[in-house]
C-alpha cells in the first residue's frame, strides 16, 4: 500500500473549464487542514516543454526555481499554496516520449518492441509517482490536461486507470470536471454533456468518484440528484462550481460545497479538522474592499491575450490587496505606441510596467514609454525586456548613443548596451542558451532596491532570458545617473538598475512575477502600487493647489 494518496483531475465536455483552479483550490483546502499537498500537471502536447511556445498559443510560460519552463497552471499552484514547484510538477507527452526513446537507444528495453502500452504508460506512471515517492507529501493532485476522449489524452487516461488499480481502494481517486451548460432558449441547465463525458471516461475503465460541475447558474438539488443517479456517483460527490468574480473565491466556494470533505472521505483520511483559511480570507477581504484606486499601464506586445501576462496580473492583485488599492490595469500595445501618441496613450497613469518579451516587434514603443515615464516622474517597473529597454533608452537619450540597442534587435549596433555574454555566443540550439531559474542577486545598500526588499542584502529571483546588461557600459551609465543596484556576485551580471533622480524607477533582469503568492506578495509589485498611490495623491494635490 502506498503512503501518499493520489487525486487525479480529468476534464470533460470542453477545455478551459479551469481544472488548474479547481485543483489548486482543493489543494489549498487540504493544505489548510494540515495535509502536505502538491499538484502536478500532465500536458498531452508533443513540445518537450512550453518554453518554445508562442504566448498566443498557450499563454505565459511559467518558470520554476530549478529553471523548468512550465505550464501557467503551475503559477496558480504556487500562488495558492505558497509552495514551490519544480520540473517534476509538469510533464508533457514530448518529455515522456523523449525519455522513452532515449532509454530505447541505450538498450534499456532489452530488445523488446517499444509500445505506447506498456512503455509510454509506464513512463507516465513513474512520473506521477516521483512526487509521491519523495516522501514530502501526504497528497499529490495530478491534473490531466486536455479533455477526456481526445486522442492524445488516451495514454494518460490508461496510465491513471492502471495506477488506480495498483494503488488500491482509497489510495487514489478521480475528480472529473465537467460543464453543465445553460440553454437560454429553453431556460434550463442541461446535464447530458456531463453524462456523456462520464460515459467516455467509463469506456476507458475509469469511474469518476467526484464530479465538479462548472455552471453559470445555481444547480438545483433535483438536478444534482439526477446527475448523481445517471453518472453513478454519490449525491454528496456532485459539486457545483459556479462562475466566481475572482479565482481566489474558488477555494471558499469549494469548501462550501464540501469538495475537500468528500475527497478526504473517499481517500479514507480523517476530516475532523476545519481548514484554517484566516489569512486567505483576510486577503480576499482586502482585495474586495479597496480604499483607493490607481491606474497602471501594462505596456507589452501580447496584450490581446491576458493569459500571456498571467503572473503579472495576479501579482498586481496580491500587491493591490496589501495596499488596499484597486489596481486598474490599462493594457497598452507597444506596437501602437510612438512618440507622437505617447502623451495620449499614457495620460492619467499613476504607474507603468514595461513587460517581458522576445524579438523586435514593439520594442521602439517600449522605449518611448520608458522615456515618457522617466521624464514625467511616473513610477516605473521594467521586467526583463522592460529593464533592457530602460537601459537602451537611457543610453540613447542621456548618454547620446543614438543607436544604442540590444544585439537581439540589431546585431551590428555600435553601442550594444544589452548583449550576449561571450560564452553564450557559440550555442545555437533554442532553449539551450537561456539563463533560467533562480539566481542570486546582491543588493547595493542605500538604493531603492534595498528599500523595496526591506533591507535584504541577498535575494534570489527567477530568470528567463538570453541577453544581458553589457558591463562595458556600466561605468558610463552610472556616471550619467543610472545605478546598478543589484548584481550577481559570481558572474558580475547586473540584475537591477534604477534612477535615484526619479521618484520610483526600477528595472529588473529577472521575473519577480513568478514569485508573488497570496501569502507572500512580491515586494516590487507592492512597491510599485504604493509608489503609484503616492504619485496619484501628489498629482491630485498639485491640481487642487
Smallest distance, Å, CB 479 to ligand GLN?
A: 25
Single out the catalytic residue among 78, 408, 513, 530.
513
User: Which residues neighbour 476 within 8 Å (Cβ) at sequence distance 6 or greater?
Assistant: 399
- Considering only 50, 132, 146, 357, the residue that binds ligand GLN (CB under 6 A) is 357
Q: Is 20 in the site for ligand GLN (CB under 6 A)?
A: no
Q: Is residue 417 part of the contact set for ligand GLN (CB under 6 A)? A: no
Contact (Cβ atoms closer than 8 angstroms) between residue 346 and residue 353: no
Q: CA 38, CA 76: separation in Å to the nearest integer?
A: 12
Residue among 80 and 510 whose Cβ is closer to ligand GLN: 510
Residues near ligand GLN (CB under 6 A), total: 10
State how far the Cα of 284 lies from the Cα of 414, in Å rounded to an integer: 51
Q: Which phi and psi angles does 8 have, rounded to 5°?
A: -100, 135
User: What b/e sequence results for 85-110 when a residue is b if at least 16 CB atoms lie within 10 Å of its CB, and e otherwise?
Assistant: bbbbbbbbbbbbbebbeeeeeeeeee
Which residue, 97 or 358, is less far from ligand GLN as judged by CB? 358
Looking at residues 469 to 498 of the shown chain, list those that interact with ligand GLN (rule: CB under 6 A): none
Question: Is 213 part of the annotated catalytic residue set?
Answer: no
Interaction between residue 146 and ligand GLN (CB under 6 A): no
Q: At what angle do helices 19-31 and 250-257 cross, to 10 degrees?
A: 70
Q: Is 18 exposed, middle or buried (0-12, 13-18, 19+ CB in 10 A)?
A: buried
Residue 17 contacts ligand GLN per CB under 6 A: no
Smallest gap from Cβ 320 to ligand GLN, in A, equals 23
Helix%, strand%, coil% for the chain, nearest 5: 45, 20, 35
Which range in 8-16, 18-26, 459-467, 498-506 contacts ligand GLN by CB under 6 A?
Answer: 459-467
Task: For the beta carbon of residue 325, count every other beta carbon within 10 angstroms.
Answer: 23
Supply the minimum distance, in Å, between the C-beta of residue 464 and ligand GLN: 5
Quick check: is 461 catalytic?
Answer: no
The HSE-up count of residue 468 (CA atoms within 13 Å, CB side) is 22
Q: State which residue, 198 or 418, has the beta carbon closest to ligand GLN.
A: 418
At its nearest, how many Å lie between ligand GLN and the CB of residue 358?
4
Give the dihedral sign, CA 529/533/539/543. positive
User: Taking the complex as a whole, how short is the minimal distance between the CB of residue 458 and ligand GLN, in angstroms?
Assistant: 23
Which one of the spans 21-29, 255-263, 353-361, 372-380 is the region binding ligand GLN (CB under 6 A)? 353-361
Radius of gyration of the chain (CA): 25
**Binding segment toward ligand GLN, per CB under 6 A, in 59-67, 300-308, 336-344, 356-364:** 356-364
Residue 543: all three cell numbers together? 491640481
Task: Decide if 379 contacts 536 (C-beta within 8 A).
Answer: no
Between 13 and 420, name the residue whose CB sits nearer to ligand GLN: 420
Between 216 and 255, how does the x/- string for binding to ligand GLN read (CB under 6 A)?
----------------------------------------
Indicate the residue among 465 and 515 with the shorter CB distance to ligand GLN.
Answer: 465
Tell me which stretch binds ligand GLN (CB under 6 A): 47-55, 134-142, 171-179, 463-471.
463-471
In DSSP notation, 340-380 reads TTHHHHHTT-SEEEEPP--SSTTHHHHHHHHHHHHHHT--E
467 binds ligand GLN (CB under 6 A): yes
* H helix or E strand, kind and range, residue 64: none
Show the binding pattern over residues 374-403: x = contacts ligand GLN (CB under 6 A), - = does not: ----------xx------------------
DSSP label of 269: -
Contact call for residue 356 and ligand GLN (CB under 6 A): yes
Specify the 3-state DSSP secondary structure of 402. Answer: coil
Span of 1-9, 249-257, 458-466, 490-498 interacting with ligand GLN by CB under 6 A = 458-466
Residue 329 CB, nearest approach to ligand GLN (Å): 18
Instruction: Report 38-97 residues binding ligand GLN (CB under 6 A).
Output: none
465 near ligand GLN (CB under 6 A): yes
Of 71, 209, 393, 408, which lies in the binding site for ligand GLN, with binding defined by CB under 6 A?
A: 408
- Nearest of 532, 540, 543, 506 to residue 295 by alpha carbon: 532
358 lines the binding site for ligand GLN (CB under 6 A): yes
Give the separation between CA 430 and CA 225, rounded to whole angstroms. Answer: 53
384 is annotated as an active-site residue: yes
Residues that bind ligand GLN (CB under 6 A): 356-358, 384-385, 408, 464-467
Catalytic sites, residue numbers: 384, 511, 513
Amino acid at each position: 500500500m502506498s503512503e501518499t494518496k493520489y487525486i487525479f483531475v480529468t476534464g470533460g465536455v470542453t477545455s478551459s473549464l479551469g481544472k488548474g483552479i479547481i485543483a489548486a483550490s482543493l489543494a489549498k483546502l487540504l493544505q489548510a487542514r494540515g495535509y502536505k499537498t502538491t499538484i502536478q500537471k500532465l500536458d498531452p502536447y508533443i513540445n518537450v516543454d512550453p518554453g518554445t511556445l508562442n504566448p498566443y498559443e498557450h499563454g505565459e510560460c511559467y518558470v520554476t526555481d530549478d529553471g523548468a519552463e512550465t505550464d501557467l497552471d503551475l503559477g496558480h499552484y504556487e500562488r495558492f499554496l505558497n509552495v514551490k514547484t519544480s520540473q517534476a510538477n509538469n510533464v508533457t507527452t514530448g518529455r515522456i516520449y523523449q525519455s522513452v526513446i532515449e532509454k530505447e537507444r541505450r538498450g534499456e528495453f532489452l530488445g523488446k518492441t517499444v509500445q505506447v502500452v506498456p512503455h509510454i504508460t509506464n513512463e507516465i506512471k513513474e512520473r506521477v509517482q516521483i512526487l509521491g515517492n519523495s516522501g514530502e507529501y501526504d497528497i499529490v493532485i495530478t491534473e490531466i490536461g486536455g479533455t477526456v476522449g481526445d486522442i492524445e489524452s488516451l495514454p494518460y487516461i490508461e496510465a491513471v486507470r492502471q495506477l488506480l488499480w495498483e494503488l488500491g481502494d482509497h489510495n487514489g481517486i478521480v475528480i472529473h470536471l465537467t460543464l453543465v451548460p445553460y440553454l437560454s432558449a429553453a431556460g434550463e441547465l442541461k446535464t447530458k454533456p456531463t453524462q456523456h463525458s462520464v460515459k467516455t471516461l467509463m469506456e476507458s475503465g475509469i469511474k469518476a468518484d467526484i464530479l465538479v460541475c462548472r455552471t453559470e447558474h445555481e444547480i438545483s438539488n433535483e438536478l444534482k440528484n439526477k446527475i448523481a443517479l445517471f453518472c453513478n456517483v454519490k449525491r454528496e460527490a456532485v459539486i457545483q462550481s459556479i462562475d466566481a468574480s475572482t479565482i481566489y473565491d474558488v477555494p471558499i466556494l469549494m469548501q462550501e460545497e464540501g469538495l475537500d470533505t468528500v475527497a478526504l472521505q473517499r481517500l479514507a483520511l480523517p476530516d475532523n479538522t476545519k481548514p484554517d483559511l484566516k489569512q486567505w480570507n483576510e486577503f480576499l477581504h482586502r482585495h474586495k474592499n479597496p480604499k483607493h484606486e490607481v491606474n497602471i499601464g501594462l505596456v507589452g506586445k501580447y496584450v490581446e491575450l491576458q493569459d500571456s501576462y498571467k503572473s503579472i496580473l495576479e501579482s498586481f492583485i496580491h500587491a493591490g490587496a496589501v495596499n488596499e488599492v484597486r489596481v486598474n490595469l490599462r493594457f497598452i500595445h507597444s506596437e501602437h505606441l510612438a512618440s507622437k501618441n505617447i502623451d495620449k496613450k499614457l495620460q492619467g497613469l499613476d504607474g507603468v510596467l514595461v513587460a517581458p518579451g522576445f524579438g523586435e516587434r514593439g520594442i521602439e514603443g517600449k522605449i518611448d514609454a520608458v522615456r515618457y515615464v522617466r521624464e514625467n516622474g511616473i513610477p516605473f517597473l521594467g521586467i526583463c525586456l522592460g529593464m533592457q529597454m530602460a537601459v537602451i533608452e537611457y543610453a540613447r537619450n542621456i548618454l547620446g548613443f543614438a543607436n544604442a540597442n540590444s544585439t537581439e534587435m540589431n546585431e551590428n549596433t555600435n553601442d550594444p548596451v544589452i548583449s550576449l555574454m561571450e560564452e553564450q555566443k557559440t550555442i545555437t540550439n533554442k532553449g539551450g542558451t537561456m539563463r533560467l531559474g533562480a539566481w542570486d542577486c546582491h543588493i547595493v545598500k542605500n538604493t531603492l532596491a534595498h528599500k523595496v526588499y526591506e533591507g535584504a542584502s541577498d535575494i534570489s529571483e527567477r530568470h528567463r532570458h538570453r541577453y544581458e546588461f553589457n558591463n562595458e557600459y556600466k561605468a558610463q551609465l552610472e556616471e550619467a545617473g543610472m545605478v546598478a543596484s543589484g548584481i550577481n556576485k559570481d558572474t558580475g551580471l547586473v540584475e537591477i538598475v534604477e534612477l535615484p533622480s526619479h521618484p520610483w524607477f526600477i528595472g529588473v533582469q529577472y521575473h519577480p512575477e513568478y514569485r508573488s503568492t497570496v501569502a507572500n506578495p512580491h515586494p516590487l509589485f507592492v512597491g510599485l502600487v504604493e509608489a503609484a498611490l503616492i504619485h496619484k495623491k501628489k498629482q491630485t494635490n498639485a491640481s487642487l493647489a
